[in-house]
Structure 1
Amino acid sequence: MPSNLTPDWSSEFEHYKQLSREVVTNEDIINFFNQNQKAFYLDNFSSTWAQMMEAYEAKESLSSDQLNQLEEMQWQDMPESLKLFAYDFCIKNGFCYTGTYS
């Protein structure tokens, strides 16, 4: 474990990893996103959230204004397409969650 991580990072990570194993449907993903904001920021040393936003911007052909509007939204109010994309990018395929899925 990198030395810049606090000891409780590991237990938080395990908590979200366990929760993510229960996620099956798109509705589950949206609920996970809405209820577990911190899960998307646990690996802040690799800036996965920023990388995800860049990938989402490219996928959706967003302007920088549109991207700024998204980033200023309340967590719960973000579009479902972003929630699904963020889950796939950050949790399912995210650096610190690698190995969660078989």
Structure 2
Amino acid sequence: MSANLTPDWSSEFEHYKQLSRKVVTKEDIINFFDQNQKAFYLDNFSSSWGKMMEAYETKESLSAEQLNKLEEMQWIAMPESLKLFAYDFCIKNGFCFTGTSR
């Protein structure tokens, strides 16, 4: 008898994956980001949020101080460029989201 130890974890990925299928426009991405903060932190095995922030820091040539200011911002107040980048990095191309079925 094998028990699934993480049914909630798995169903949460499916939930957010289903939501992400409705994302088409930039506005959809921004709304998804604003309304689904938890989706960006589900992939804690590969630390996708931390890796995304490192990649964004490099892409935008941010200083450590600028990066700290970003990380201290309210979720909804984060810049659009970060929201779009985070969606592509964590959701669209995120390891756990691309690995979910259906």
TM-score, with length taken from structure 2: 0.91
What is the CA–CA distance in structure 1 between the aligned matches of 2:46 and 2:54, rounded to whole Å? 14
CA distance in 1, matches of 2:38, 2:83: 14
Counterpart of 1:87?
Answer: 87
1:35-65, Cα deviation, whole Å (9 max, x unpaired): 0000000111110000000000000000000
Residue number in structure 1 paired with 2:56? 56
Partner of 1:74: 74
**CA RMSD after TM alignment:** 1.2
Tell me which residue corresponds to 1:31. Answer: 31
Distance in 1, Cα, partners of 2:90 & 2:35: 15
Aligned length: 96
Which structure has more relative contact order (CA 8 Å, sep 6+)? It is 2
Deviations 1:5-58 (A, max 9, x none): 632001111000000000000000000000000000011111000000000000
**In the alignment, is residue 6 of structure 1 matched against residue 9 of structure 2?**
no
Q: Residue 45 of structure 2 aligns to a residue in which SS?
A: helix
Runs of 4+ aligned structure 1 residues displaced above 4 Å come to none
User: What is the match of residue 42 of structure 2?
Assistant: 42
Q: Percent identity?
A: 86
Which residue type is aligned with residue 82 of structure 1? L
Gaps of 5+ in 2: none
**Structure 1: unaligned runs, 5 residues or longer:** none
The TM-score with structure 1 as length reference comes to 0.91
Measured in 2, the distance between the counterparts of 1:68 and 1:43 equals: 22
